[in-house]
Structure 1
Amino acid sequence: MSEFLSLFECDESEELLPVCLPPECADGNVEYKLKLINPSQSRFEHLVTQMKWRLREGQGEAIYEIGVEDKGMLIGLTEDEVDASLHTLYMMAEKLGASLTILRERVVTPDGCAPCRKVLEILIRKIESLLKSPACKKIPFNVVTEDDAITSASSMAKSNITPIFAVSCVSGQGLNLLYTFLNVLSPCVSVKEREKLVQQNAEFQVDEIFNVSDVGLVVGGLLVSGIIRENDWLHIGPLVDGSFSDVQVASVHRHKVPCRVVRAGESASLALTNTSTDLTSHVRKGMVLISIESNRTPYPVCYYFQARIHVLFHATMICPGFQTTVHVKNIRQTAVVVAIMGKRGITTNETASVMLRFLKQPEYVTPGCPLLFREGMSKGIGQVIQVFPVDGTEPITFAKKQFDKNQAQAIPLK
């Protein structure tokens, strides 16, 4: 079994655990186990179900304290008991597609007995299996050395790997690898693609709103396409009724420094003025600033939109009437599932085309943009494939040449 233990080598094996832990809590992602030695089949299935619950509570991560009673007393295990318990724990994690890492271990001598006994703190993680799922189709890559950080950063644009960094929020261990990765990482948009974006009409996503004394309304966000200069006139919206209002850019700041021009791919803060109405109370996060010369007619402002979604997790079944928080670009609003194409409902790891409706106000949604939704423990991803403008004009559909072969046809809106 010594070969098995070598799979769980840890650099911090000598780090001390507390003398006594607080009593085990029924909720949360921390589980105490005195020992896990040769469980029966029914007991093993119960332990796997218990691990699944802890992973769900910890959003894919769970901590197992081995050699600890439910009340928190550190009893410890002998070497043979440690080997057997680790083997059982490994089999449990393998059944759920999770990985194991020994975080810390400590030698204890309860009541002065000999030989010395060990207490282990083990991290169970299911991130790798989530990345490998049909929804993500990514290759997890654990970054351990500086060469790993450079390799992963150089391969991000050409491959579907996802680097995983182990970083301590207390000691800062692992941050140097993350900094190396970020320094080597190339921009996600090439120079040629950025030049194309600059030539398009301006579209600025509003992420932050400020009301500055002696200045007025200031919005912060990302310029997705085009160029914005001082004194430019733009449309801002959509307002509650789906309309847009004219505003003028009074000044531009980037990194707290005044500048005259913002180009596609850059973040900035814009001071806005409007001579006709006071927009301070009407502007909100999720709005956009677009060029007055924009030839997009009509604007993709909608209550109803169709998306092809993949459910990453849901406890039961998602059916029409299900309400969830939808994230599309800079938009965050509650939406309700109006219809599901060809199915009565969808469950975990299923994909379907659904019709959704924003509950509060219309939003500027561009067909083709990615989508994320969540509600409690439920979560999923997808892509917007069709929007239905509020003015009743023809639906705007994602370009067919960019469709996936498995995507369903658009759902007609009655």
Structure 2
Amino acid sequence: MERVFPRESEEGNVEYKLKLAYVSEGRLEELASQLRYRLAEKGGEAFYVLGVSNEGEPIGLSDEEVKVSLENLKRVAEKAGAKINVIREASGKRGKIVEVLVRRCRETLPVQVSVIAVGHADHGKTTTVGVLVTGELDDGDGAVMSKVARYKHEIQMRRTSSVAERLLGFDDEGRVVNYMLTSPLDEASVFLNSSKIVSFIDVGGHERYLRTAAKGLLSHSPDYALLIVAANAGVSQMTKEHLGIALSFRIPVFVAITKTDMVPRERVQEVLNDVIKLLKMPGVNKIPLVIEDVDDVAIAAKNMPSGRVSPIFKLSNRTGEGLDLLKTFLNLLPPRLRWKENLNKPFLLYIDEKFNVPGVGVVVSGLVLQGHVAVDDYVQLGPFRDGSFRSVRIRSIHVRKGVFADSVSAGMSAAFALSNVGYDEIEKGMVLLDKKIAPKAIRKIEAEVFVLHHPTTIKPGYECTFHIHAIRESGKFVQMSKPYLRSGDLAKALIEFRYKPVYVYPGQRFLFREAHTRGVGIILNAYS
């Protein structure tokens, strides 16, 4: 007899079940583990075929057996953090064959706090993040960095050059979820099992990678910045520069002095004094709080959203000194940004990454800044190079790799599968917009600018790179309220984007840079 279905494979995301009758608690856990494996095989989706034997023989089920089997499969899916959806029925030898889509999802989302790790190269940003999320101490020779780095050259150079995101999850009792998992770096498992998520954005600290640092800072809208200072190197120019940029965007900062095991206590105290002096400088004006015990942690976490207090931790990623206090602080650290105020506004998202996924098609990702959007909604994409916008459909939504959602709202990072657009047509910095908005492609802005540093003077005609959220575009100073600008100057300027239009609006803050030039600004008016 010819089989309708191929023999079941132990690999892949397809599972045959003749029927699911009585399921005990012990059996429920076994089936949930099996389902988690199937879900992991194809990024969060699996297909269960009921009424078919492991050999692929289409035996079929009665209506009552279908009903009971679906109820039990629903229990299994809920145990595994997934939902079921019957997609089709067919006839078998003695009854119905039912094909079911099982998709990993989550009803209630965890509390989410985002922290960007900044500071000079080789000061231990990636290692600190890696030790926190894996629970493994470093060996002093790059062992932890090799586990969390994105690219081979980063491991070889021991220097981060890209923007990487890592999750640290806490359960209801404040325990770190990552350490209970087989793979502490599995985003989906951390997300699904946590009541609170701290999302670390790790950026390059070398001057040549400032553009990636700017991208991480602006496109992720972090709640807080973790400034890393190595005890063996101390406060550097890039330490001051990253601190200045974070403060320019009004991001509260806490500090970790790393590598305390490498130097005498006197040196740690010397660096600590330098950090305190830096935080107290005019223009910075923070209240340093050196963390010594849990009482200090509780006070610091409670006052962080105000931005006035800057806690200072002393850490060793080799010995573990100070790590428990830092983890307790992160567990208590509240979200700062008030996303609820943006829930009723029209949907807006800047695209910071794009992918061409086999079997899925074009996928884009970013942070939802306003409103909400659901699967099968139509939104506007643009501006394209000619200044136009196009209607596209949201085919599916991932809130984390392998974790699907029916909808997302302001404050959530997500990836979206899109229809009606090609991969090569999309550019980072484009937006997805509510279809009710009448968008304009902007080619000029009037802005108030502040020059953080420039080696000489800025005059009309000066060109540099502008970072506005996920946008990175070359622009020219066309007119200025002053004849020229130097470090520390504040002025109004008319800026023209050189190569392509963008979607921006008054009130947005931006960073501009070129070689050793650094500046910030706020958009006052936008012109098409």
Bin for the TM-score computed over the shorter chain: 0.5 to 0.7
- The amino acid across from 2:469 in the alignment is K
Counterpart in 2 of 1:338?
Answer: 478
Counterpart in 2 of 1:208?
Answer: 353
**Matched residues in 2 for 1:202 and 1:56: separation?**
41
Residues 138 and 162 of structure 1 are in contact (CA less than 8 Å); yes or no, is this contact kept in structure 2? Answer: no
**Matched residues in 1 for 2:419 and 2:317: separation?**
43
**Matched residues in 1 for 2:372 and 2:449: separation?**
33
Closer, same or farther: CA 210–175 of 1 in aligned 2, 3 Å:
farther
- The amino acid across from 2:436 in the alignment is E
State the 1:322 CA deviation.
2.2
Stretch deviating more after TM superposition (241-250 or 144-153): 144-153
**Matched residues in 2 for 1:101 and 1:222: separation?**
30
- The amino acid across from 1:349 in the alignment is G
**Matched residues in 2 for 1:148 and 1:121: separation?**
18
**Matched residues in 2 for 1:302 and 1:239: separation?**
11
Counterpart in 1 of 2:462?
Answer: 322
Residues 371 and 383 of structure 1 are in contact (CA less than 8 Å); yes or no, is this contact kept in structure 2? Answer: yes
Please list every run of 5 or more consecutive structure 2 residues that lacks an aligned counterpart in the other structure.
1-205, 208-233, 242-256
Closer, same or farther: CA 105–129 of 1 in aligned 2, 3 Å:
closer
**Matched residues in 2 for 1:164 and 1:287: separation?**
38
The answer as to 2:430 corresponding to 1:287 is: yes
Of the three residues 141, 161, 172, the one matched with 2:288 is: 141
- The amino acid across from 1:253 in the alignment is H
State the 1:119 CA deviation.
11
After superposition, the C-alpha distances for 1:220-277 in whole angstroms (9 at most, x for unaligned) are 1111111110100010011101111111011111122111010111111110011xxx
Of the three residues 274, 283, 298, the one matched with 1:150 is: 298
**Matched residues in 1 for 2:504 and 2:515: separation?**
24
Counterpart in 2 of 1:308?
Answer: 448
- The amino acid across from 2:417 in the alignment is A
**Matched residues in 1 for 2:336 and 2:322: separation?**
24
- The amino acid across from 1:367 in the alignment is P
Listed as ranges, the matches of 1:14-93 within 5 Å are 59-60=239-240
- The amino acid across from 1:246 in the alignment is S
**Matched residues in 2 for 1:293 and 1:371: separation?**
26
Closer, same or farther: CA 105–167 of 1 in aligned 2, 3 Å:
closer
Q: Which has the larger share of helix?
A: 2
Secondary structure at the counterpart of residue 297 of structure 2: helix
Residues 445 and 523 of structure 2 are in contact (CA less than 8 Å); yes or no, is this contact kept in structure 1? Answer: yes
Residues 235 and 244 of structure 1 are in contact (CA less than 8 Å); yes or no, is this contact kept in structure 2? Answer: yes
Counterpart in 2 of 1:266?
Answer: 412
**Matched residues in 1 for 2:315 and 2:469: separation?**
28
State the 1:148 CA deviation.
3.4
State the 1:307 CA deviation.
1.5
**Matched residues in 1 for 2:280 and 2:450: separation?**
14
- The amino acid across from 1:155 in the alignment is N
Residues 128 and 140 of structure 1 are in contact (CA less than 8 Å); yes or no, is this contact kept in structure 2? Answer: no
State the 1:303 CA deviation.
1.6
**Matched residues in 1 for 2:515 and 2:280: separation?**
20
The answer as to 2:308 corresponding to 1:160 is: yes
**Matched residues in 1 for 2:472 and 2:429: separation?**
7
- The amino acid across from 1:232 in the alignment is D
- The amino acid across from 1:262 in the alignment is V
Counterpart in 1 of 2:334?
Answer: 186
**Matched residues in 2 for 1:229 and 1:120: separation?**
51
Stretch deviating more after TM superposition (240-249 or 145-154): 145-154
After superposition, the C-alpha distances for 1:189-247 in whole angstroms (9 at most, x for unaligned) are 34xx50x4222211122111010011100011111111110100010011101111111
Counterpart in 2 of 1:361?
Answer: 500
**Matched residues in 1 for 2:410 and 2:335: separation?**
13
| RMSD value, Cα | 3.4
Counterpart in 2 of 1:349?
Answer: 488
Secondary structure at the counterpart of residue 199 of structure 1: coil
- The amino acid across from 2:296 in the alignment is D
Closer, same or farther: CA 151–197 of 1 in aligned 2, 3 Å:
same
Q: State, as a whole percentage, how many aligned pairs show the same letter.
A: 32
- The amino acid across from 1:326 in the alignment is F
Residues 467 and 512 of structure 2 are in contact (CA less than 8 Å); yes or no, is this contact kept in structure 1? Answer: yes
Residues 101 and 122 of structure 1 are in contact (CA less than 8 Å); yes or no, is this contact kept in structure 2? Answer: no
The answer as to 2:516 corresponding to 1:384 is: no
Closer, same or farther: CA 349–163 of 1 in aligned 2, 3 Å:
farther
Counterpart in 1 of 2:384?
Answer: 239
Secondary structure at the counterpart of residue 183 of structure 1: helix
After superposition, the C-alpha distances for 1:127-147 in whole angstroms (9 at most, x for unaligned) are 85477444xx44152443243
State the 1:309 CA deviation.
1.6
**Matched residues in 2 for 1:220 and 1:102: separation?**
35
Counterpart in 2 of 1:372?
Answer: 511
Please list every run of 5 or more consecutive structure 1 residues that lacks an aligned counterpart in the other structure.
1-27, 30-53, 62-99, 107-117, 390-414
Closer, same or farther: CA 149–324 of 1 in aligned 2, 3 Å:
farther
Closer, same or farther: CA 318–148 of 1 in aligned 2, 3 Å:
farther
State the 1:364 CA deviation.
0.8
Residues 211 and 280 of structure 1 are in contact (CA less than 8 Å); yes or no, is this contact kept in structure 2? Answer: yes
Secondary structure at the counterpart of residue 306 of structure 1: strand
TM, length-normalised to structure 1: 0.59
Equivalent pairs counted in the alignment come to: 277
Stretch deviating more after TM superposition (159-168 or 200-209): 159-168
**Matched residues in 1 for 2:236 and 2:493: separation?**
26
Secondary structure at the counterpart of residue 364 of structure 1: coil
**Matched residues in 2 for 1:58 and 1:219: separation?**
32
- The amino acid across from 1:141 in the alignment is P
Secondary structure at the counterpart of residue 443 of structure 2: strand
Closer, same or farther: CA 302–230 of 1 in aligned 2, 3 Å:
same
Residues 249 and 272 of structure 1 are in contact (CA less than 8 Å); yes or no, is this contact kept in structure 2? Answer: yes
Residues 167 and 174 of structure 1 are in contact (CA less than 8 Å); yes or no, is this contact kept in structure 2? Answer: yes
State the 1:321 CA deviation.
2.3
Counterpart in 2 of 1:219?
Answer: 364
State the 1:349 CA deviation.
1.6
Residues 102 and 121 of structure 1 are in contact (CA less than 8 Å); yes or no, is this contact kept in structure 2? Answer: no
Closer, same or farther: CA 243–204 of 1 in aligned 2, 3 Å:
same
**Matched residues in 1 for 2:353 and 2:258: separation?**
40
